[in-house]
Chains A and B, each alone.
Chain A
């Protein structure tokens, strides 16, 4: 969710988002991403519209205002998790308790 929302500050269609995430090292299955986009839209975190680009229509998604707020919260949570894990891993460098 964090990856998807952070990449939808600018409008993108589903397949281009898929390629962008893959290009940044996050391989996501189409069967996972597209239903996720629909769920996020149903929760009001994304907005979408159909546009006819090139030769066929595409559905473009972008983070809604609520989605951007939620993204900021998720980024704080994620940063917190990283900090906690770094503390844990520092205390147990070899993985021993």
Chain B
């Protein structure tokens, strides 16, 4: 096999099988034409140097083969936004599962530091595997799309209609610091209220040792499972906020649902027995005022109920604000003559 044939054969190795024979034949013909012209110019027969010169002019076999192939995407521009969305959802799901498992194990006291470390390692492995599957799935979709097998069946193939913009609610940004800080404090709350609840007490020295003066009562802890559920759901909600980066209808509805859940717990405490209990013996040993211990207990619990009442009121206000924002996001889409934006991304 001479140099020209080897070159043509090498180009063919980088071409689809269906096109190979035809392109190889044309390439061979073109090279011969180029050499004939060179021979006419120099008046010399074809030499190896002339062949090398022509092949250098054409370029490497990979480059020549690439010029015959259309632009090849692993995941093309049309599919890319959907790929990113699927990747976000997939990775969020992995993170949520990890957080839920970790929280449940913390609560049940079944988590050592080594197991936590193994869990972190599993988190990264699971995230990588999930990401790889999503990339593979979309690469397959891209191939099917390029081959025309799914043409006209996907949303991105339909002609875009500008009026669809009016049906989309306005999106407002979520500052990353808000969910990050919230997640941190929620995790702290989960750990403290479930593992270190003995520290949630006011202690006084009595007889040379620290005794609890006031602590949270059984009436409080009876609702701890509900509180734990609420906190875990709030962590998931804030993670979703981090992933999406903007408020949408789903997040607003989730926010309302979580506030209603929180409202239920607060009202249960408000309506139920006192959530603070006192060690009367310890209290009487430190009480140097003219107010009786019974009055102290009574008024502090009244005060706690007032705080819970204010919290209930505050939650109701927040719920109505979120409902209003939800309505405004959707209602702003139907303003005559265009989309109305009031003062930019306000909350």
Q: Answer yes or no: are A and B bound together in one complex.
A: yes
User: Interface SS of chain A: helix, strand, loop or mixed?
Assistant: helix
Q: Confirm or deny: B64 has a beta carbon within 8 angstroms of a beta carbon on chain A.
A: yes
Whether the Cβ atoms of A56 and B58 lie closer than 8 Å is no
**Size of chain B's interface in residues, with CB distance under 8 A?**
18
Interface digits, A57-97 against B, CB 8 Å rule (1 contact, 0 not)?
11100000000000000000000000000000000000000
Q: Specify the chain B residue showing the minimal Cβ separation from A37.
A: B26
Q: How far is the CA of A34 from the CA of B59 in the complex (A)?
A: 14
A58 & B33 in contact (Cβ 8 Å cutoff): yes
Q: Count residues of A near B (Cβ-Cβ below 8 Å).
A: 16
A-B contact pairs, 26 of them (CB 8 A): A13-B29, A13-B33, A14-B29, A14-B33, A15-B29, A15-B30, A15-B33, A15-B37, A19-B37, A30-B30, A30-B34, A30-B57, A31-B58, A31-B64, A32-B67, A34-B27, A34-B67, A34-B68, A35-B67, A38-B68, A56-B28, A56-B29, A56-B32, A57-B25, A58-B33, A59-B25
Tell me which of A14, A32, A50 contacts B30 (CB under 8 A): A14
Q: Chain A contacts of B63 at CB under 8 A?
A: 31
Complex interface: chain B residues within 8 A of A13 (CB): 29, 33
Which of chain B's residues have a CB closer than 8 A to the CB of A56? 28-29, 32
The interface bits of chain A over 33-64 (1 if a CB of B lies within 8 angstroms of the residue's CB, else 0) are 01100100000000000100000111100000
* Chain B residues whose CB sits within 8 angstroms of the CB of A58 once the complex forms: 29, 33
Which of B29, B57, B58, B64 is in CB contact (< 8 Å) with A59? B29
Contact B30 A34 (CB under 8 A): yes
**4 cross-chain pairs, A with B, having the tightest CB-CB distances, nearest first:** A15-B33, A31-B67, A35-B68, A35-B67
- Other A-B contacts than A59-B26, A59-B29, 13 sampled, CB-CB below 8 A, are A13-B33, A14-B30, A19-B37, A30-B34, A31-B59, A31-B67, A32-B67, A34-B26, A34-B27, A34-B30, A34-B67, A34-B68, A57-B25
